[in-house]
């Protein structure tokens, strides 16, 4: 997979890496939406995030992953922001969406690096007794 400027670190857990690629596709669609015409892309991002975050919560709960509460709180803060913007009319939301995109671009890679990577390590250790390996082509 070619690197893109916003590509997050692969974690080596296929279901999480697939969810992260989908998040980035949804975020890219929102980024490329015309000002004031963001609603469909924002709804798609919110739907993706609900499924993505629920799947991670389920993964953490089913494996007894530590620090799950803190992780889930971060997800829910993002959901709250997405729903607050969706509740605005399109004209009111346009400048907020621009700030939301910047905030998500800042938040998501750090979240993956710090919290999601810990989940991937934990789950892989539970399943296979070791940490995930990520092989990269030069
Ligand atoms: Fe994630
Ligand atoms: Fe997460």
Three-state secondary structure string covering 53-78: HHHHHHHHHHHCCCCHHHHHHHHHHH
What is the rounded CA–CA span in Å between residue 128 and residue 26? 31
**Residue 106, domain member (yes or no):** yes
Q: Cα of 91 to ligand 1 centre, how many Å?
A: 30
**Residue 111, domain member (yes or no):** yes
pLDDT band at 4 (very low <50, low <70, confident <90, very high): very low
What is the rounded CA–CA span in Å between residue 98 and residue 136? 33
Residue 3, pLDDT score: 38
Q: Which of 7-11, 57-61, 98-102, 105-109 has the lowest mean pLDDT?
A: 7-11
Residue 6, pLDDT score: 57
Q: Which domain holds residue 40?
A: 14-128
**Residue 4, domain member (yes or no):** no
The total number of structural domains that make up the chain? 1
pLDDT in tens, 9-44: 999 999 999 999 999 999 999 999 998 899 999 999
Residue 118, pLDDT score: 96
Q: Which residues surround ligand 1, an ion (CB under 5 A)?
A: 116
Q: Which ligand is nearest to the CA of 78?
A: 2
Tell me the percentage of the chain whose pLDDT exceeds 70.
96
Q: Cα of 91 to ligand 2 centre, how many Å?
A: 31
Residue range 39-55: average pLDDT?
98
Q: Which ligand is nearest to the CA of 67?
A: 2
Q: Which ligand is nearest to the CA of 20?
A: 1
What is the rounded CA–CA span in Å between residue 125 and residue 129? 4
**Residue 5, domain member (yes or no):** no
**Residue 20, domain member (yes or no):** yes
**Residue 8, domain member (yes or no):** no
Let me know how long the chain is: 138
Q: Cα of 112 to ligand 1 centre, how many Å?
A: 6
**CATH code assigned at 93:** 1.20.120
Residue 1 has pLDDT above 90, yes or no: no
**Residue 3, domain member (yes or no):** no
Q: Cα of 127 to ligand 1 centre, how many Å?
A: 19
**Residue 9, domain member (yes or no):** no
Q: Yes or no: say if 15 and 55 are a contact pair by the CB < 8 Å rule.
A: yes
Residue 13, pLDDT score: 94
């Amino acid at each position: 997979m070619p690197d893109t400027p916003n590509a997050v670190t692969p974690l080596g857990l296929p279901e999480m890496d697939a969810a992260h690629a989908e998040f980035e596709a949804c975020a890219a669609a929102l980024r490329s939406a015309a000002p004031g015409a963001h609603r469909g892309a924002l709804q798609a991002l919110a739907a993706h995030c609900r499924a993505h975050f629920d799947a991670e919560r389920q993964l953490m709960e089913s494996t007894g992953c530590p620090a799950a509460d803190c992780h889930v709180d971060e997800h829910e803060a993002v959901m709250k922001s997405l729903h607050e913007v969706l509740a605005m009319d399109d004209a009111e939301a346009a400048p907020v969406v621009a700030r939301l995109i910047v905030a998500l671009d800042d938040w998501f890679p750090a979240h993956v690096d710090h919290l999601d990577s810990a989940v991937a390590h934990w789950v892989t250790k539970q399943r296979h007794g070791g940490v995930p390996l990520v092989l990269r082509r030069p």
